[in-house]
Amino acid sequence: MDKEVRIIGVPMDLGQGRRGVDMGPFALRYAGLSDRLAQLGMRVKDLGNLDVPVPEAAPEVPENGLRHLPVVSAINRRLAGMCARAIEEGAIPVTLGGDHSVAAGSVAGARAAGRVGVLWIDAHADFNTPETSPSKNLHGMPLAALVDGAAKNLATYLTDEQVQPQEVVLVGIRSLDPGERRALVAQGIKLYTMRDVDELGIAEVTRQVLAHFSRQGLERLHVSFDLDSLDPTIAPGVGTPVPGGLSYREAHLLMEMLADDRRVGSVDLVEINPILDTLNGTAILAVELLASLMGQSIL
């Protein structure tokens, strides 16, 4: 496989209250991310980390009650430009978070390069707005900021690029705030909860997801993978763990089927918190899953 992957680290923990996810990019690199991708025959270019201030050094400047919004916005705009440039030059940008607020930048960058389907793999929908969010944490709002018409008051959160509701699918959902639930229904966002995974099986869920993107005429996909979509028994080192998540094999099969589909053109790996982890196991698992997404197979 002669494909270039560009790794972009975003050590961001300004979007949430719990510290630690800013170390995610370092944990993923320590877990052998570049070497694993190189073993698959990919050309790997690590662009290093964007400069992200720690919360103590970042001016809060609350805007709509949201802490650090100007700083997060500026970082996301820079990330969007890097992701768009990578895609336009034929590379696959892999964004290493950091909290999930970074997806507002990476998805905007993917959209700047043309229409894109967004697969949001997460325990949470991240579809809150300043009005509906109980915590006002920005990592619970990036998808609302990205979807056209969902939250106009979050326009400064990212670039001007947005996606249409029918271009988004969520998988692994099991924790929603009341306002998110109403907004998701109102926008007609397609989602698969863990009950759907239990009833249908992850293979059928994945087939339905891919068929949906095909019906929308989407030839390129962005996978935004929050490690808290996995069950905490296999991935304890995450920002906001929720019991009852995807199993090891469910997650690998999802990645393998996406690889077979050959439409994934950009990826996020977010919300890894090494402070809560055991022997860097969550980052190691994330690297294994990314390898499956990039085409590693048993035969």
196 a catalytic residue: no
pLDDT at position 64, please?
A: 64
pLDDT at position 150, please?
A: 76
122 a catalytic residue: yes
- Catalytic option among 68, 100, 222, 252: 100
- Catalytic option among 13, 180, 268, 271: 271
Sign of CA dihedral 99, 94, 36, 26: negative
For residues 183 and 103, give the distance between their C-alpha atoms in angstroms, rounded to a whole number.
19
- Catalytic option among 13, 122, 231, 288: 122
Whole-structure pTM value? 0.95
pLDDT at position 159, please?
A: 63
- Catalytic option among 167, 226, 231, 277: 226
pLDDT at position 217, please?
A: 98
13 a catalytic residue: no
pLDDT at position 151, please?
A: 72
pLDDT at position 16, please?
A: 65
139 a catalytic residue: yes
pLDDT at position 15, please?
A: 60
Would you put residue 281 in left (φ > 0), alpha (ψ -120 to 50) or beta? alpha
pLDDT at position 138, please?
A: 82
- Catalytic option among 139, 231, 250, 268: 139
Mean pLDDT by 10 residues, the chain (299 residues): 91 77 96 97 97 74 71 92 97 96 95 96 92 79 88 65 95 95 95 98 98 98 98 96 97 98 98 96 98 89
- Catalytic option among 13, 228, 250, 268: 228
228 a catalytic residue: yes
